[in-house]
Structure 1
């Protein structure tokens, strides 16, 4: 059952009144497809790297985990309606310069919940961004969690990179210095939000194994070897979708397998219910709608790319601090945070409705969401669940709650 609005530790309502929702013109939100960067076609750059490095796919990384997560027997701190979950090892709990953000699972990748198609792996993916002003920005990393044995999950971190050419014409790659607030896995493709610009896409069939001795080097080094800041594997970008219409803050992303066709939704973060577009890095036509939004694009299941570059649905939602979004047709779920000491909440609303309602409490520091249907025959729970990841060091959890809040 839906919970009533709750008090923060400071004694103020997280949402003083139910947030209002309104349908707006979806056609104003458009993207442009891009298969290259300033160095050339992504495919050509990746082929060049393949001539220098050992190419692997995601199944090889999943089979090569090197860290052990901690099984959660009960809900983390303030979360309710708990189904399953884990905490990171002591090192990743304590690290202050890497912060977890996005989450997706193999139940997004394929309808039966298993990876690869026809395989047996149950997998959770989590994105982290680097945040240390005193050190070289190492960009974004992706964690592959083997959750096939929920009582003893294991994992490995991989560095996300963009393929480039050096000044001398050698194939190389650079770190991707982005927030990576939301991720979505669809078939072999991983979608990562680029806050100011749109979506970056990565092909999980193409990763590279690199040398690990140099922890402060990314790409081709003077010794002739390739490094990824000490990580064993790097995942190069393969495509991009750039925002061309009304400004949109690409904060979080979620897959909707209940829509026809499948689709993705993007949500926006705002501190006080007004989206900040002041950063000069935003791209688009300059039009601004400052109320937070949820915007949908249709997907093509045959190649896992966008079916159309024009949005098919857009709604404004007067809700502050939205950290994650997933949808099931016309029903939308939002994760809403409230700082380092107060619980988050899972809220829902229906397209065309006037308000949102609370579903259940989430853990402190709630971030991205991922929907896991009970219809995922290969990896199913007794009822549908929604996965969430939390960000603050010392209390970092990845867990699933019942989608109906029961």
Structure 2
């Protein structure tokens, strides 16, 4: 899909909801590590799958990319700050039951910007929407969960990509290793070393190890896991990526809407931000989904430290928590005490990239973002390999026929 750049002010979502930060007790938002589910340990079940299925590398998935993206020379609302990006092929632009949400890159995975030594890669998460027109009538009854797109960005002029199904390892009634779809929102993702962190909105974080990608059969489009034909299927996708670890919310309710990596501090850290319809106490249309509680009070940005060797959290207790009176936060990344937010404004008005500091009382607008802006990923100019002259921030937009993956300069220039 060709981009149609246009300029303009940042839209109506900005002025009514200025961001005001305030610190809150961080220890209340603790997490609990989990290495298993009701079927056994993730490690044992994934080892069982590895004994039955071919294991493949990220480079193999990229080499087998079966779709072509179109390079962007600009994107809606980002004319001043646009750096690079692409649009999906016509099928992925039009599909209404797969919705893109999260974005991260190999510049998150490693300081060099490369994965596997030399690959420039962008990852995008999608969730399956059974009722895409929102009329309360299920149009697609088989919810296929979440998928992850591997984009080969080694040639930015002609990116290629392939979709992979995200799954949870389980066992069949006979005890054989299998897997099932993950029917979650996939609202934000973060790549760190070999691990992909995915937010689970009402539960916490799920982790996927990119060294455990498996090749499966593709003949059964409506089957996921071990089938009666003795083969493994992933709804027609060539590859599946099973979960390998989890961090569950173990304290005060927190809505895990989006996730971002901060490499500017020592140690590295991740931040979680909350979505709210109003920017204050939210009793909106989705306030009680799955929890019996309000979606959130004043939205929060919460930070946990990362172990730069193991790539897991180094503490289950956050090191920072601040509230921010900002509605419709869809993405968040931080650089020490400075936080960047993507703020949406519905299906017809553009969004915005906003920034504030942990000690500040107001936020400022950095740049306009595309309609339906979602997750963010910070790409440092200091990356030793894949780098730009300035810091850039990647964003993904969600609405059909308005879907872009693009980077804007972090200073809005």
TM-superposed deviation, 1:16: 2.0
SS in 2 for 1:343: strand
Unaligned runs of 5+ in 2: 1-7, 131-137
TM-superposed deviation, 1:278: 4.5
User: CA separation in 2, counterparts of 1:79 and 1:293?
Assistant: 30
User: CA separation in 1, counterparts of 2:182 and 2:278?
Assistant: 29
Partner of 1:392: 399
Partner of 1:257: 263
TM-superposed deviation, 1:78: 5.3
RMSD of aligned Cα (Å): 1.7
Q: Deviations along 1:255-289, whole A, 9 cap, x unmatched?
A: 00001100000000011113458436349xx8996
User: CA separation in 1, counterparts of 2:89 and 2:306?
Assistant: 36
Aligned residues: 395
**CA 1:40–1:93: 2 relative to 1, 3 Å:** same
User: CA separation in 1, counterparts of 2:349 and 2:52?
Assistant: 49
TM-score by length of 1: 0.94
**CA 1:141–1:13: 2 relative to 1, 3 Å:** closer
TM-score by length of 2: 0.93
TM-superposed deviation, 1:20: 1.0
Partner of 1:187: 193
User: CA separation in 2, counterparts of 1:80 and 1:314?
Assistant: 32
Asked whether the 8 Å contact 2:392–2:407 carries over to 1, the reply is yes
Partner of 1:402: 409
Asked whether the 8 Å contact 1:247–1:282 carries over to 2, the reply is no
Asked whether the 8 Å contact 1:212–1:232 carries over to 2, the reply is yes
* 2:172 paired residue among 166, 169, 180: 166
5 Å-filtered alignment, 1:4-403, equals 6=9, 8=11, 12=12, 14-16=14-16, 18-77=18-77, 80-116=80-116, 119-132=117-130, 133-135=138-140, 136-273=142-279, 274-275=281-282, 278-279=287-288, 281-282=290-291, 290-403=297-410
**CA 1:83–1:353: 2 relative to 1, 3 Å:** same
TM-superposed deviation, 1:400: 0.1
User: CA separation in 2, counterparts of 1:214 and 1:287?
Assistant: 40
SS in 2 for 1:337: strand
**CA 1:287–1:396: 2 relative to 1, 3 Å:** closer
SS in 2 for 1:99: strand
Unaligned runs of 5+ in 1: none
TM-superposed deviation, 1:80: 3.9
